[in-house]
């Protein structure tokens, strides 16, 4: 990462674990007690809109109460150290933005945005964010259909504009720092194989081996909140040394 000008930081749920938010596929993860098809699919929402609405409201409450951890803050610091940093995240918690990163691509949307479940205006009709006390899905102010979180559920396409931007950033970057993802979910993970095929340097930070480990040039085993700050501090020290001649 020393002579990197354009860096992509690709993150998953493990990035926010040190902020107290559960991952999905760890033993104590979200999917351990909640079937994804019931809570993170259009069919699940159609079957039980109230249940899915309340589940996301509860997660939104947790995400609002959580704070960016040292790993998020170190990634935000990269904005001041490198000319072009793009965070491509699968997370919906908004913690990278709260840490201060200027360019964040949310592949799977955001729990802090809501939209018409029928996308009645062609584009997602973003409606006002409901109160945390709202227990029933609000109705779309334009067509009367149920509203829902503006997140990407299983079987749904990723937002085309975000996806296209992510593909471009991977194509033009010098390196990818991959933090806290199992590399299981597609098409998000395919961006990492695109980077590999284009001979980009891949550095992975994760306490466990993952599908990504097999294509990473460097695997740093450890927690995001511990390893990423050390990595960024090393980069900063090397830059200072280079300036010092
Ligand atoms: C699509 C919603 C097609 C928001 C999420 C069979 C049937 C149907 C579909 C498929 C299928 N097979 C494949 C698919 C495609 C499917 C998919 O990939 N399934 C997987 C499970 C096999 N993908 C889709 O359905 C996608 N859409 O394909 O559409 C299509 C095409 C054309 C036209 C129409 C449709 C949509 C995928 C998005 C689903 N939405 N979330 C929400 O509620 O959050 S996915 C969910 O997984 C989250 O977004 C999450 O971020 C993402 C990826 O998981 P990770 O972030 O990697 O989290 P995970 O728990 O897995 O790993 C955490 C890691 O952190 C671990 O490695 C752990 O070791 C590490 N860790 C732990 N502690 C720390 C740490 N790291 C650092 N520090 C720590 N302290």
CATH number at residue 84: 3.40.50.1220
Q: Are residues 144 and 168 in the same domain?
A: no
Residue with tokens 């259009």: 42
pLDDT at 2: 60
pLDDT at 98: 98
Q: Are residues 164 and 219 in the same domain?
A: yes
Atom of ligand 1 lying closest to residue 181 CA: 57
Which of 132, 151, 170 delimits the end of a domain? 151
Q: Are residues 57 and 75 in the same domain?
A: no
pTM for the full model? 0.96
Nearest to 13 by CA among 34, 32, 30, 33: 30
Which of 134, 151, 168 delimits the end of a domain? 151
Nearest to 116 by CA among 147, 143, 139: 147
Q: Are residues 209 and 240 in the same domain?
A: yes
Helix H or strand E segment including 56: helix 49-65
Q: What is the mean pLDDT of residues 196-220?
A: 98
Q: Are residues 103 and 123 in the same domain?
A: no
State how many domains the chain has.
Answer: 2
Q: What is the mean pLDDT of residues 166-170?
A: 98
Q: Are residues 117 and 191 in the same domain?
A: no
Give distance in angstroms: CA of 150 to centre of ligand 1.
16
Query: Which residue out of 13, 15, 192 has the highest number of ligand 1 atoms within 8 Å of its CB and is therefore the one to mutate?
Result: 13
Q: Are residues 117 and 186 in the same domain?
A: no
Residue 36 lies in domain:
22-65+113-151
E strand segments, the chain = 6-11, 84-89, 104-106, 109-116, 126-127, 147-151, 175-179, 201-206, 218-221
Q: Are residues 206 and 142 in the same domain?
A: no
Proportion of the chain above pLDDT 70, given as a percent: 98
Distance CA 239, CA 231 (A): 12
DSSP string, 5-19: SEEEEEE-GGGGGGG
pLDDT at 121: 83
Give distance in angstroms: CA of 151 to centre of ligand 1.
12
Residue 127 has pLDDT above 80, yes or no: no
Give distance in angstroms: CA of 184 to centre of ligand 1.
6
Q: Which residues are catalytic?
A: 108
Q: Are residues 122 and 214 in the same domain?
A: no
Q: Which residues line ligand 1 (CB under 6 A)?
A: 12-14, 17-18, 23-26, 29, 40, 90-92, 108, 151-157, 180-182, 184-186, 206-208, 210, 223-224
Q: What is the mean pLDDT of residues 12-29?
A: 93
pLDDT at 33: 84
CATH number at residue 140: 3.30.1600.10
Classify burial at 84, counting beta carbons within 10 Å of its beta carbon; exposed 0-12, middle 13-18, buried 19 or more. middle
pLDDT category at 124 given cuts 50, 70, 90 is: low
Atom of ligand 1 lying closest to residue 12 CA: 56
């Amino acid at each position: 990462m020393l002579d990197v000008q354009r860096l992509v930081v690709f993150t998953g749920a493990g990035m926010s674990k040190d902020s107290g938010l559960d991952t999905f596929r760890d033993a104590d993860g979200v999917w351990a007690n909640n079937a994804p098809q019931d809570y993170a699919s259009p069919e699940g929402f159609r079957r039980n809109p109230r249940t899915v609405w309340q589940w996301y409201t509860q997660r939104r409450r947790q995400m609002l109460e959580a704070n960016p951890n040292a790993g998020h803050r170190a990634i935000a610091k990269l904005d001041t150290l490198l000319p072009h940093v793009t965070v491509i995240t699968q997370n919906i918690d908004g913690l990278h933005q709260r840490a201060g990163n200027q360019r964040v691509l949310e592949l799977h949307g955001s729990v802090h945005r809501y939209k018409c479940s029928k996308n009645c205006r062609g584009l997602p009709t973003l409606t006002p964010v409901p109160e945390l006390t709202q227990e029933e899905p609000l109705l779309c102010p334009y067509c009367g259909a149920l509203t829902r979180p503006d997140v990407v559920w299983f079987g749904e396409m990723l937002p085309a504009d975000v996806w296209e931007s992510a593909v471009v950033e991977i194509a033009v970057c010098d390196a990818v720092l991959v933090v806290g993802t199992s590399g299981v979910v597609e098409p998000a993970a395919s961006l990492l194989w695109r980077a590999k095929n284009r001979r980009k340097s891949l550095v992975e930070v994760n306490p466990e081996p993952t599908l990504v480990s097999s294509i990473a040039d460097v695997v740093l085993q450890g927690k995001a909140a511990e390893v990423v700050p050390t990595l960024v501090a090393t980069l900063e020290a090397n830059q200072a040394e280079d300036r010092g001649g």
